[in-house]
Amino acid sequence: MKSVFIMANVNKPKVIKITTKLIKWFKRRKIKVYLDKNIAGLLNKKGVSGKNLNVNVYIALGGDGTFLNLVRTVYPTFVPILGINLGSLGFLTEVRVENIDEVLENLFKGNYNTEERMVLEGTINNKKIVALNEIVVSSTKGRLIKLGMQILNYDYETTYNADGLIISTPTGSTAYSLSAGGPIVNPKVEGIIITPICPHTLTNRPVVVSHDSNIKIFIKSKGEKAKIIADGKQKGCFLKGDNFIIIKKSDYPVRLVIPFKNSYYKILKEKLHWG
């Protein structure tokens, strides 16, 4: 290992102390450390954007939001990403602060596994957006909207009267989709989850479709405008008859560092406090 990049959530308690500890740990082993500009500014060091860096590992120090921000910043990349949890739940940031030394030592020795996770790609107005968790289409006015949905390569079409639609990866099944009543799907399952948000019709239920589905979403409500949010960040809007969004599996997955041999179900039990 020759170099790493660290992105940290500067609003988390003890972030300066923990980042400093990481820097010292890597420097003792003559590993070059790049810092994102926010944490670098707090440490009076030079920061970089993180894009197109020649590093061995990217590190997200914070919560799942920090991890998703790092993915947005460096995507597409085949460099593995490690999440260290300074937040609360942390499905993507699996490593706890008390386990940092053990994990870093294994990282240094190459004693870890990686796992590829599906990424969604949305296209609207020839602009592409990506999401590791989900892409959400909803009304800009925060009210009921009628959305049409087609799965183009499977000749399927339906209509949703709902607050919006969540198109999720299996990784994102434990995020917004779960809060809206969607199923938990093991990340090793090749599927895309479609979850309506507060549907007006009780028979509109979440469904899991094939990973090769090309999903077209368009507005059917008169005079309505929809917004598109990818992993919590708004990426654009469109009008009825004006345009539509196509969502499909991206050709480029994200690689996660898996430092422990915990099963996915053991992680679920821990994070969701199952008995």
Residues whose CB falls within 8 Å of the CB of residue 238, separated by 6 or more in sequence, listed in order: 124, 125, 219, 225, 226, 228, 244, 245
- Where does residue 184 rank: exposed (0-12), middle (13-18), buried (19+ CB within 10 A)? middle
pTM for the full model?
A: 0.94
Closest listed residue to residue 233, CA positions, set 126, 134, 119: 134
The residue type of 239 is L
Q: What percent of the chain has pLDDT over 90?
A: 77
In the predicted structure, residue 29 carries a pLDDT above the cut 90:
yes
Q: What are phi and psi of 3, to 5 degrees?
A: -155, 155
- The pLDDT-based confidence of 3 (bands split at 50, 70, 90) is very high
Task: Enter the tokens of residue 264.
Answer: 């996915």
In the predicted structure, residue 44 carries a pLDDT above the cut 80:
yes
- Where does residue 97 rank: exposed (0-12), middle (13-18), buried (19+ CB within 10 A)? middle
In the predicted structure, residue 261 carries a pLDDT above the cut 90:
no
How much is the average pLDDT of 169-184? 97
What pLDDT score does 202 carry? Answer: 85
- The pLDDT-based confidence of 264 (bands split at 50, 70, 90) is confident
Task: Using DSSP, state whether 128 is helix, strand or coil.
Answer: strand
Task: Enter the tokens of residue 2.
Answer: 């020759």
In the predicted structure, residue 242 carries a pLDDT above the cut 80:
no
All structural domains of the chain, each given as residue ranges with its CATH number in brackets, are: 3-118+253-271 (3.40.50.10330), 120-249 (2.60.200.30)
Residue 242 annotated among the catalytic residues of the structure = no
How much is the average pLDDT of 53-59? 96
Pick the more confident residue, 275 or 29. Answer: 29
Q: Tell me the C-alpha distance between 124 and 238, whole Å.
A: 9
Mean residue pLDDT of the chain comes to 93
How much is the average pLDDT of 135-159? 94
Residues whose CB falls within 8 Å of the CB of residue 66, separated by 6 or more in sequence, listed in order: 7, 8, 9, 60, 83, 87, 93
Task: Enter the tokens of residue 88.
Answer: 């609360």
The residue type of 220 is K
pLDDT tens across 116-133, in order?
999 999 999 889 999 999
In the 8-state DSSP scheme, what is residue 90?
A: -
Closest listed residue to residue 171, CA positions, set 211, 137, 144: 211
Q: Which of 36, 64, 163, 231 is catalytic?
A: 64
Q: How many helices (H) and strands (E) does the chain have?
A: 6, 19
What pLDDT score does 94 carry? Answer: 84
Q: Determine contact, residues 187/197, Cβ cutoff 8 Å.
A: no
